[in-house]
Amino acid sequence: MADIRPFCMPKWGIEMTEGTIAEWMVKEGDAFTRGQTLCLIETAKITNEVEAEYDAVLKRLLVPAGEDAHPVGALLAVFAEAAATDAEIDAFIAAFKPAETSVAAKAGSAPAPAAAPVAAAPAAPATPARAPKKIVTNRPISPEALKLAEAEGIDIEPISGSGRGGRITYQDVFQALQPDRAASYKGAAPLPAEIAAIFASPLARRLAALHDIDLTGLTGTGPRGRISKKDVLALVPAPAAQAGTVVFGAPFVPVANDPVVQPFDKVRKVVARRLTEAKQTIPHFYLRVSARVDELIALRKTANIVLGGVIGGKGASINDYLVKAVALALVRHPDVNVQVHGDAVHSFPHADVAIAVASPKGLVTPIVRQADRLHIAQIASTTRALIDKAQAGKLSYDDMDGGTFSVSNLGMFGIEQFDAIINPPQGAILAVGGVNKVAVERDNGDIGFESRIGLTLSVDHRAIDGAAGATFLQTLKGLIEAPEGLFQ
């Protein structure tokens, strides 16, 4: 028998429970070699490249790119020798199903609940239930569509797929069940038969029934002509203008002020959960200081003439110098360079500084490893590479795993001062504001101006005392105000 192996959803990190195929780099039937990139898999915050561990052929692609997330352990594809037959692949997939469920359960993913039984219509002779049947097909079909077709015992061969490349979607199977299946398949209260049989979203049908609107003959603007909420609302009579309301002499007619509902995506859900837990479980306290940056700005301008030729002509940013200053201050104050794990405090000899970056996937915190040992040019090169990966949505798990301290800089947006939420399990985070010119009194009594930057240290009081945080800030301020020490 040919050598056949499953390719399942991998698990990266203790918190990963599911992932999404972002892109396949090989097609079904393609041969690949060890080390070749097979696909990109997205998790809550990262996109990882998956490399082949051996030479083989992608014999069966079960989960196309862009589908909903699948649990850890879910079967994504089947790899085999070129000589493997379709019958052998089908037999392997059928035999693998129990193992797939077991792996997913061990990974912490609960098995999908069985579909709730649909109440039978109160008609006299009850329609016999369709017998579930196993469907084996080479046609492209989504997992949810296949599950529904098997549960209903429907033949999918006559169904025309409306998805990409003729792929059969859940809606295609659902429509094939009409009109003998009530449109309230997902459990909503029954609607009048004349409305239930029309190709419209559940909310559109409800609105039509509520406003007594006839949807017969209406062409929807949704996918494949589906009638949407917007189509129905366009037929709802506008409310009469409120009597006596006048704006600049003309009658004021109120318009719809419906919200645009945007559910949290995967990244926002994770960020919301982690920040809520951090704020609720970590006793934050805040220390604030400002530092003079005139000498740092002047040194950066001069140094970048040299550094620009080393790191691509852009030089190092103020934030790169701050990361270096933070790293040096942390190794001098190891009681701040910590992580908190339960009732234990982990102290580190080197500073792994996480930098907060706004990306298309939300707020991410890639890490500059051992920043205390890096030259300014190396820090600038590293941060620029991490920011580019974040903007492209290609940060890996290794890019963000760990970190002993975080820096969040909003100064470029004109923010003078803010309080950041600690990124657990780290013990502290530094919030950096913008640079402002302030008036100061000189030693001779004259008034002058200098540039100052606002710094706020958020501290986990369970592990770091006020005095420890204050002395750390004192050291950090000294490094910023005397920046020659950053090159030692």
| Residues with active-site annotation | 461
For 246, the 3-state DSSP assignment is strand
Task: Tell me the residue length of the chain.
Answer: 488
User: Is residue 78 within 8 Å of residue 6, measured between CB atoms?
Assistant: yes
User: Is residue 252 within 8 Å of residue 241, measured between CB atoms?
Assistant: yes
Give the whole-angstrom CA distance, residue 353 versus residue 402. Answer: 9
User: Is residue 429 within 8 Å of residue 409, measured between CB atoms?
Assistant: no
Provide the CA 375 distance to its chain's centre, in angstroms: 32
Q: Which of 321, 313, 331 is nearest to 355 (CA)?
A: 321
Local structure of residue 350 (DSSP, 8 states): S
User: Is residue 232 within 8 Å of residue 215, measured between CB atoms?
Assistant: yes
User: Is residue 376 within 8 Å of residue 390, measured between CB atoms?
Assistant: no
Q: Which of 344, 345, 335, 390 is nearest to 367 (CA)?
A: 390
Q: How far apart are the first and last CA of the chain?
A: 64
Q: Which of 291, 361, 359, 301 is nearest to 325 (CA)?
A: 291
Which value, in Å, is the radius of gyration of the alpha carbons in the chain? 30
Local structure of residue 236 (DSSP, 8 states): S
Local structure of residue 444 (DSSP, 8 states): T
The encoded tokens of residue 91 equal 């037999």
Local structure of residue 45 (DSSP, 8 states): S
